[in-house]
Structure 1
């Protein structure tokens, strides 16, 4: 079991946020990224929304980054930790731009990019950006194929309803071959089928932990499953967030779990097929206390579950 580093103040969800996180600034996050790198955490993942309608602010909060520039910054501030998205909204950005951004980060970071794509769920965000919400699945299907073609094709060509290109060149290619790890986030059957076709990782959000094995079996049972699923990420706080970012109660994932409780739950996750997780941010007062806590996790929990 690998552990991702839960970076405070990448978002402010009502279900998981704590008051002290709102005071965290970019300089603090830079310091924490370097700290996570030094302690041996596996990954930092960046949530993404481009714009949030006022009707969703109570649950979702107003504070989100754009995934790719934030991943690039964190990669540049560190040496070995991987950078990921959680999630990048695939249909809201042209796939050529997406492919170029991620290839650039991977090249500059010597191959430390993973990307978790999602199709999106916030209709008002799509409406604001002029992307047809009810076509987001079909758009995503084309876009991921186009991105992979740009990353891997010596002479990339693609012809689709939403994107087409030919007689083009695309460099730099990603350092990682055949391309950076692609994960998909979500729980619906179309998402799981997309994992089977294209991905090496799955990041569930609304799936209960005990249902993960059945979902993994569904992915592997698809006729076009490529055999590439190697990672499943399930963080402690995942079960505290419901549809539309509603608050769900799960005492097994609360802040303030003991070391033994965390180790036991990570062991259970591993039995279910989870390969990577992150422990809950405890009830603290400031960044210095969080640095101490993440050191404790790295020194006393990480070696036990590795």
Structure 2
């Protein structure tokens, strides 16, 4: 099983954040992702929200990056680790601009980008940004088609309700072929159908671990599913977060579990079809203590689940 590195202070979600994370700076994060790469972690993934209404701050926290900007920075300060998002809110930004951002990072990083798209759930965020919340699914489908056209066609053309273009050039193309790997985040049938049509990976959030096999079968049963390798990312702490970021007490997802408990949990995930996971950030004194823990995970956990 591949392991993602949970970079501290990318968000301050009440369900998962540790108090010490708030002191972590951008300079700390730069040093930490370089160390994660040296330790052999497979991926760093960046959460995204653009603006948080005050009524959601208690559960969601105020601190989020713009995913593509952070992915570009992380890719630029490393050499081998993959960068991903969790998630990029697809309908909230122009698809041509998003396609350019991701192609640029992929080109400059020699093909180390994956992107996890979702349609979003925070209606007030859409209202503030002037994007129709109830059209976000249709927008997402169209945006994905348009972005793939830009990434793969020599002379890109697309005609849709929300975006259209022809007689244009678009370079650089992504280094990865046919294009930047797309994963889809979400749990509704519509999200899974979108994953079957466009994606090579799925990032569930509200799906219970034991339900992953049935939902994965649903994806692969769709007539639009293209076959081939299909990734499933499910972090150990995921089940501590409910709808609207409410806190769920799940003793099987708590931080600071013993080595054997973590190995058993990740082994079970593998049996369910999960291909990539992460170990929760535990209570720590500071960044140095966490890096020691991250090394312990790679030395004591990774060889037994890899």
Residue 287 of structure 2 is aligned to residue 284 of structure 1:
no
Q: CA deviation at 1:130?
A: 0.3
For 1:22 and 1:158, locate their aligned partners in 2 and report how far apart those are by CA, in whole Å: 44
Aligned twin of 2:305: 305
Aligned twin of 2:66: 66
For 1:119 and 1:230, locate their aligned partners in 2 and report how far apart those are by CA, in whole Å: 20
Q: Secondary structure at the match of 1:252?
A: helix
Q: CA deviation at 1:229?
A: 4.9
For 1:155 and 1:227, locate their aligned partners in 2 and report how far apart those are by CA, in whole Å: 27
Aligned twin of 1:107: 107
| Contact 1:199-1:228 within 8 A present in 2 as well | no
Residue 43 of structure 2 is aligned to residue 43 of structure 1:
yes
Greater shift after overlay, 227-236 or 54-63? 227-236
Residue 143 of structure 2 is aligned to residue 143 of structure 1:
yes
| Contact 1:158-1:166 within 8 A present in 2 as well | yes
Residue 273 of structure 2 is aligned to residue 273 of structure 1:
yes
Aligned twin of 2:241: 241
Q: Secondary structure at the match of 2:21?
A: helix
Alignment RMSD: 0.6
Could you list the per-position Cα deviations for residues 107-134 of structure 1 after superposition, in whole angstroms to 9, with x for gaps in the alignment? Answer: 0000000000000000000000000000
The total of aligned residue pairs comes to 306
Query: 1:188-207, aligned counterparts within 5 Å?
Result: 188-207=188-207
Give unpaired runs (5+ residues) of structure 1. none
Residue 3 of structure 2 is aligned to residue 3 of structure 1:
yes
For 2:226 and 2:216, locate their aligned partners in 1 and report how far apart those are by CA, in whole Å: 13
The list of structure 1 runs, each at least 4 consecutive aligned residues, that deviate by more than 2 angstroms after superposition, is none
Give unpaired runs (5+ residues) of structure 2. none
Aligned twin of 2:132: 132
For 1:257 and 1:300, locate their aligned partners in 2 and report how far apart those are by CA, in whole Å: 13
